[in-house]
Amino acid sequence: MHGAGSMSERTPVVRGFRDVYPGDSERFDLVERSMIEVIGKYGYQEIRLPIVESVDLFSRGLGEATDAVEKEMYTLSDRDHDVLALRPEGTASCVRAVIDRNLTREGNPRLWYRGPMFRYERPQKGRYRQFYQIGAEAFGLRGPDVDAELITMGHDMWELLGVDSAVELEINTIGSGDSRRAYSEALVEYLNPRKKELDADSTRRLTTNPMRILDSKNAVTQKLLESAPDLRDFIDAASRALFEGVCEYLDRDGINYRVNPNLVRGLDYYTNTVFEWVTHKLGSQGTICAGGRYDGLVERLGGPSAPAAGFAVGLDRVVLLHETLGRDVDQSAADVYVIAMDGQHDTYARQVARFVRKETSLRVRQHLGGGKVGVQMRHADRSGARWAVIVGDDEVAENRVALKWLREESAQESLDFEQLVASLNGSLESR
Does residue 431 have a pLDDT over 70? no
Does residue 207 have a pLDDT over 60? yes
Phi, psi at residue 66, to the nearest 5°? Answer: -75, 150
Residue 71 has a pLDDT of 80
Residue 329: count of CB within 10 angstroms of its CB: 16
Q: What is the 3-state secondary structure (H, E, C) of 241-265?
A: HHHHHHHHHHHHCCCCCEECCCCCC
Residue 5 has a pLDDT of 52
- Who wins on pLDDT, 186 or 264? 186
**pLDDT band of 129, cuts 50, 70, 90:** very high
Does residue 100 have a pLDDT over 70? yes
Mean pLDDT of 99-112: 92
Phi, psi at residue 198, to the nearest 5°? Answer: -75, 150
Does residue 339 have a pLDDT over 60? yes
**pLDDT band of 428, cuts 50, 70, 90:** confident
Residue 224 has a pLDDT of 87
Helix or strand run (H / E) with residue 187: helix 177-191
Q: Report domain extents, the chain.
A: 25-176+236-324, 336-429
Query: pLDDT digits over 219-240, tens only?
Result: 888 888 888 888 888 999 999 9
Does residue 267 have a pLDDT over 70? no
Give me the percent of the chain exceeding a pLDDT of 90.
69
Mean pLDDT of 314-343: 93
Does residue 149 have a pLDDT over 90? yes
Residue 19 has a pLDDT of 94
Residue 216 has a pLDDT of 80
What is the rounded distance in angstroms from the CA atom of residue 318 to the CA atom of residue 114? 14
Does residue 3 have a pLDDT over 60? no
CATH code for residues 336-429: 3.40.50.800
State which of 64-73, 180-189, 362-371 shows the largest mean pLDDT: 362-371
SS3 300: helix
Residue 45: count of CB within 10 angstroms of its CB: 10
Average pLDDT, the chain: 91
Contacts of residue 327, defined as CB under 8 A and 6 or more positions apart, other chains included, come to 161, 162, 163
CATH 3.30.1490.190 fits 25-176+236-324, yes or no: no
What is the rounded distance in angstroms from the CA atom of residue 429 to the CA atom of residue 176? 54
Residue 430 has a pLDDT of 65
What is the rounded distance in angstroms from the CA atom of residue 298 to the CA atom of residue 143? 17
Query: pLDDT digits over 351-393, tens only?
Result: 999 999 999 999 999 999 988 999 999 999 999 999 999 999 9
Per-residue DSSP letters for 49-107?
--SEEEHHHHHHHH-TTSHHHHTS--EEE-TT--EEEE-S-SHHHHHHHHHHTTGGGSS
Mean pLDDT of 386-407: 96
What's the CA dihedral at 345, 350, 355, 361 to 10 degrees?
130
Per-residue DSSP letters for 120-149?
----BTTB-SEEEEEEEEEES--SHHHHHH
What is the rounded distance in angstroms from the CA atom of residue 284 to the CA atom of residue 278? 10
Does residue 1 have a pLDDT over 70? no
What is the rounded distance in angstroms from the CA atom of residue 356 to the CA atom of residue 338? 10
Query: pLDDT digits over 278-297, tens only?
Result: 999 998 779 999 999 999 89
Residue 218 has a pLDDT of 85
- Who wins on pLDDT, 199 or 258? 258
Mean pLDDT of 163-185: 92
Does residue 266 have a pLDDT over 80? no
Give pTM, 2 decimals.
0.88
**83-86 β-sheet, strand order:** 52-54, 83-86, 75-77
Contacts of residue 38, defined as CB under 8 A and 6 or more positions apart, other chains included, come to 153, 156, 157, 160
Give me the percent of the chain exceeding a pLDDT of 70.
97
State which of 74-88, 256-270, 347-361 shows the largest mean pLDDT: 347-361
